[in-house]
Each structure stands twice: as structure tokens, then as C-alpha cells.
Amino acid sequence: MSNESLANLLKEERRFAPPRELAAAANVTADAYAHAKEDRLAFWAEQARRLSWEVEPTETLDWSNPPFAKWFQDGRLNVAYNCVDRHVEAGHGDRVAIHFEGEPGDGRTLTYAQLKDEVGKAANALTELGIRKGDRVAVYMPMIPETAIAMLACARIGAAHSVVFGGFSAEALSARIQDADAKLVITADGGYRRGKPNALKAIVDEAVPRCPTIENVLVVRRTGQDVSWGEKDKWWHELVEGQSPEHTPEAFEAEHPLFILYTSGTTGKPKGILHTSGGYLTQVSYTHHAVFDLKPETDVYWCTADIGWVTGHSYFVYGPLSNGATQVMYEGTPDTPHQGRFWEIIQKYKVSILYAAPTAIRTFMKWGDDIPAKFDLSSLRVLGSVGEPINPEAWIWYRKNIGGERCPIVDTWWQTETGAIMISPLPGVTETKPGAAQVPLPGISATVVDDEGREVPDGAGGYLVLTEPWPSMLRTIWGDDQRYIDTYWSRFPGRYFAGDGAKKDDDGDIWLLGRVDDVMLVSGHNISTTEVESALVSHPKVAESAVVGATDATTGQAIVAFVILRGTAASDDGDALLAELRDHVGKTLGPIAKPKRILTVTELPKTRSGKIMRRLLRDVAENRQIGDVTTLADSTVMDLIQAKLPSAASED
């Protein structure tokens, strides 16, 4: 970015007060902010008491060797015991933990008592395979209950899991196994996606010969497809089913590693983000309780994210289960066998809390309002969003068409590295603004700074930083402390740099503006891709858009927009419409933000977690050879986009 702060162009005046009834019974009320501010560490020490410790911690934070934090250092606990056994001991063994919905329509319900038995058996099986405290286990699985069971079994015996998303290639899987020196891979024959079984075991077979540390491969039978079988392979149903469900959990130190999760970032070797036990569990448990207002006796909670992402770790496995939630787990895609599948699931299980990603919400918008309208969504009471900035129009659509204008929306900002939600409204407290994550949670310190690290005034933009350590923070990058320091703590010494652009509005609320690597520099102004995209999506004919800065001889960079039109407008890409869109952006944000070129497309390049890959669109906009597409969810998308190029409309 230039010395000028990131421009603040978008003004959003709509406000939504928390529903009165929800506010009256909310888990967390406004006084939590003041309370946490008074004594931040005492606040977190109090939240740690949500958990069952074998040895209660007396020390909250050791920050004597920054940026290496130790939280609750002298405490000891077992994470799996906290997520499972203690609920059974408290008399909730019959409560449903997981309603599993397979893509083909099969299903399975696991109570907390059953989950405890399954985790106990799996823990005994892992022990039989020689897995010990301190080992690493790779998990390469579909979205089935055994995935959560495998993770909890690792946690129970003190082995760190490294879950690798089931859509990754053999190469990505082997690189992650090698980096962590994993001893075991847990996988399945396959899983169901888009109506057919896809293979996982075959990919593991390709990866394992390159991974000398792997001693065994444990395979769940999910689809029944043919698999080849080698010496290291063991069937889950043969090894695990025969075990005793009794397993005594051992308490580990609070800083004992719980998991490694690799994030690819924009370039370079994937980073193994290391999370540990006591601080992580404290913050995921507290934030899940606070942000979703979970009432474990009555709510049915559904996080739609894959378990292979941090959202699945923190808000499917550890947060909800530590809170004794009843939740839905869905294996497949939202359009199998029809585009109303999500809404059908909500109707079937009477889901009351839904946590989804903006990319999914924009897809539902594109499919049309009539689809959710066919289902009874009246059980819903809180809606969440995560993963990207949610454009104000997508937020409004979500509120109206899914939330029936009655559910508060919590736009939750966090990262794999932060482990848990950091910035979000509280559903019973915050007057929400469409498109903004708004406020750091109680006990969290975040702000926006300029190039020199000075806090920007209200109404200005810059870089998002976290100014105090937090319990669920990453502890390091696995095997690379220096890279941990360089990546997160060097840009603004003493503060954590998240890599995101952000602004503070006139009330001091925080708006996320996208990754700083994507910020455009147009005639000396730093313009956020998010704001231009949101302006485009606020036009009634636009469903989705992605904006990039392309090198331009006169303005430094020029704004190039790729847009997907909504249902009825989809075939119209005439010059009149493109001029109308350009003017619309000009009116919404000001003339400086008008795209120079707009291209209508039918798909956008996204990662497998739904983030737009602007790097590839920049290649298109600058007429370059398209770069590395291996992390694209659908590698054919770029061909479709390039085929559209001649129709590009430009102002000149």
C-alpha cells in the first residue's frame, strides 16, 4: 500500500437491533466488554473455568518471551474428556451430539454416550497401533462422524492431529505428512460428493510411498468402493469395533499440542499452524457460547464448513462439543440432489443456529429466492457468516430469505492462526451493520493502523492488527519459529499483523476490506477490492463479483471487475448493462472506484474453501499466462473465463 491509508468509500446506513427476546435471555450481555476490559487476564482465567481441569491453572499468561505465549501453563486437562465424557457424567448421555446426514440420504444419530464409547474404542485402537503422546496423526477423511471421532481419539491420547482437507491432491497430502512426520494416516475408502463416491484411499496410496514415517493406514469403509490393499492398511471396522469402549483419559499440560493445521497462504510452502490445548479450548468454548448464544438443551446447531478447515475444527468439533451442543453434520454439496438441500436439512432437524460462508450465501442468491421459500425455516434464530467479507447485499439477502427478518447475523472474523473468533457482533447485544464484523469480542484487543503503525482515526482505513495475545492464538509454525516471527510479528513489532485491510467507521466499528495483497492502487488511492465488489453486488442484476487491480500506464493500476449476473439477467452482457454497472459503482463509492473494465462470467476461480483467487484474475486482466491453478476447486473455471475475454468492455 502507499502512504495514504486505505480509502473508506462505502457508507452503509442500515442498522438492525438485536431481537428483544433473544437479548433478554442472551448468554452474554453488554457488561462483558467492560468486565473484560477491567482485567483482561482475570476475564480469561474466568472463562477457563468453563472447562474441567484435572489440575486448575493458577497462572493465566506467560508472555515473557514474545511472540511465544503460554496460557494456563500449570493447568492440566484432557480435551476429549471435556468434549465428551463430562457431558455424560453430568447426566446428558442421551442428548444427541451429532445428527449425521449423508449425501445419499442415509443418516445416523450419535448421542453423547455413544460418542464417548466410539472415542474410547478409537483411542484404544490408536494405542494398539503404537500411537503415543506427542506423535502426529494425519486425518484425510470425508465429512462423516468417524472424522470427529478420530480427532477426539487423538486428543484423548495426546497425539496431535493434522487434518488434511479431503479435496487435496496426493502431493499436498504427502507434503503435509512429511512436514509433520506423521506416523499414521486415518482415511476412508471415499466419501459422497455431488451424487457419486469420490476416492480418498487411492490418493493415500499414492502419497504414502513418499512418506517413510507412516507405519499404518487406518481406513473407514464409507462408500464400499473397491480399494487396493497393502501391508500397512487396516480397516477401521475390524480394528476399532473390537476394542473396549473403556479408556481412561490422561490429563496433559495446557500447552500440550492439540493439532497442526496447514494453511497455504497466497504463495510458498504451506504453514503448519500449531494450536495447543487449554487456551485453545477455553476460547473456542467461550466464543461458541457467546457468539452463537448456544442453549445446549434446546438448540440444534449446524456449521456447514468442512472439518478439514479450521472452522470445522473450532466450530464443529471443539467449541460445540465442549459446550454439549446438539449439531448437524452434512457430508455433501448444497445442490445434491437439488438446490434446496440445505433448507430441507434445516427443516428436517429444526436447526436453530446456522453458520455458513459468504460464498455459499452468494451462490444461494444466484439460485433464487424461490428455493429457500419452499421450506420451513422458522426454527432458525441466529445466523453466522465466516471466511470472507460478506457483501452488504448478501447479508441483507441472508437476513430476509433465510432468517425471515428475525434472526441476528453474526459476521465472525478470524483465521486459522487465531484459532477462534476474534471480531464479531454479539447476537443479544450488538446493533448489527450489514457487512461488518464490527467489534472485538470481550477479552480481545484489535485495531486498525496506518503504514507506520499508528492507530487510524474513526472513518479511516489501514491494516488490521491484534494488540494483545489471546488464548487460542497459534503458538508457532510447526518446525519454523523464525517464519512465525517474520510472518506475523515483524511488520508491526509487538503486534500481530493479520494480513487483512480494514477500516474503522464513524462509530469506531471495524469493517474487513480483504487481504492487503489484493488492495488496488489507483491514481495514488488505495482502494479495497471488497468495497468495489460490494458496490457491484448491490446492483440488483449482479449475484457475485471479483475485482482486481491491473497494471495501467496512466493510473498505476486500473480496476477490472469480473461479475456473475443474477438468474434473469444472466444472458445480458450488452454494453448498456456494463455502463450501468460502472455508473452504479461510481454513484455508490465515487468516480475513483469505477471499474475500467467489466467482464461478465459464469464462474469465479475459488479455492476449495471458497475464497476468490484474485491472483489468477490479475493474470487474465494483465493478459499473462495463468499461474498455478492447483489449489483451485475447479480447474476448468479459468478456461471459461478466458473464453470470455473478447467481450470485455472498457471505458476507452
Q: Would you tell me how many other CB atoms lie within 10 Å of the CB of residue 65?
A: 8
413 interacts with ligand WT7 by CB under 6 A:
yes
- Rounded to a whole number of angstroms, the CA Rg of the chain reads 24
Query: From the list 138, 200, 310, 522, which residue makes contact with ligand WT7 (rule: CB under 6 A)?
Result: 310
Query: From the list 85, 393, 411, 509, which residue makes contact with ligand WT7 (rule: CB under 6 A)?
Result: 411
Q: Is the peptide bond before 67 cis (omega within 30 degrees of 0)?
A: yes
Place of cell 453486488: 537
b/e for 245-281, b at 16 or more Cβ within 10 A?
eebebebbbbbbbbbbbbbbeeeeebbbbbbbbbbbb
Q: How far is CA 418 from the centre of its chain?
A: 11
Query: From the list 388, 393, 573, 619, which residue makes contact with ligand WT7 (rule: CB under 6 A)?
Result: 388
Backbone region of residue 218 per phi and psi (left: phi > 0; alpha: psi in -120 to 50; beta: other values): beta
C-alpha cell recorded at residue 345: 436439512
Query: From the list 78, 401, 416, 529, which residue makes contact with ligand WT7 (rule: CB under 6 A)?
Result: 416
What CA–CA distance (Å, rounded) separates 285 from 441? 13
> Which of these segments, 46-54, 324-332, 413-421, 439-447, binds ligand WT7 (CB under 6 A)?
413-421
C-alpha cell recorded at residue 531: 468495497
Our CB check for ligand WT7 shows the closer of 149 and 498 to be 498
Among residue numbers 571 through 610, which ones bind ligand WT7 (CB under 6 A)? 609
Residue 618 and residue 548 in contact, taking contact as beta carbons nearer than 8 Å: yes
> Which of these segments, 294-302, 471-479, 495-503, 534-542, binds ligand WT7 (CB under 6 A)?
495-503
Our CB check for ligand WT7 shows the closer of 257 and 358 to be 358
**Residues touching ligand WT7: how many (CB under 6 A)?**
21
Our CB check for ligand WT7 shows the closer of 386 and 522 to be 386
**CA torsion 441→443→449→453, rounded to 10°?**
-160
CB of residue 273 to ligand WT7, shortest distance in Å: 8
What CA–CA distance (Å, rounded) separates 216 from 221? 16
415 interacts with ligand WT7 by CB under 6 A:
yes
304 interacts with ligand WT7 by CB under 6 A:
no
412 interacts with ligand WT7 by CB under 6 A:
yes
Among residue numbers 244 through 273, which ones bind ligand WT7 (CB under 6 A)? 263
CB of residue 437 to ligand WT7, shortest distance in Å: 5
Backbone angles phi, psi at 324, to 5 degrees: 70, 35
> Which of these segments, 172-180, 183-191, 438-446, 497-505, binds ligand WT7 (CB under 6 A)?
497-505
Place of cell 464484523: 437
Among residue numbers 345 through 384, which ones bind ligand WT7 (CB under 6 A)? none
C-alpha cell recorded at residue 195: 451424487
Q: How far is CA 430 from the centre of its chain?
A: 22
- At 77, is the secondary structure helix, strand, or coil? strand
432 interacts with ligand WT7 by CB under 6 A:
no
Place of cell 457468516: 385
179 interacts with ligand WT7 by CB under 6 A:
no
CB of residue 500 to ligand WT7, shortest distance in Å: 5
515 interacts with ligand WT7 by CB under 6 A:
yes
CB of residue 135 to ligand WT7, shortest distance in Å: 25
CB of residue 428 to ligand WT7, shortest distance in Å: 19
Residue 97 and residue 115 in contact, taking contact as beta carbons nearer than 8 Å: yes
> Which of these segments, 4-12, 62-70, 494-502, 591-599, binds ligand WT7 (CB under 6 A)?
494-502
| Chain residues in the site for ligand WT7 (CB under 6 A) | 263, 309-311, 386-389, 411-416, 437, 498-500, 512, 515, 609
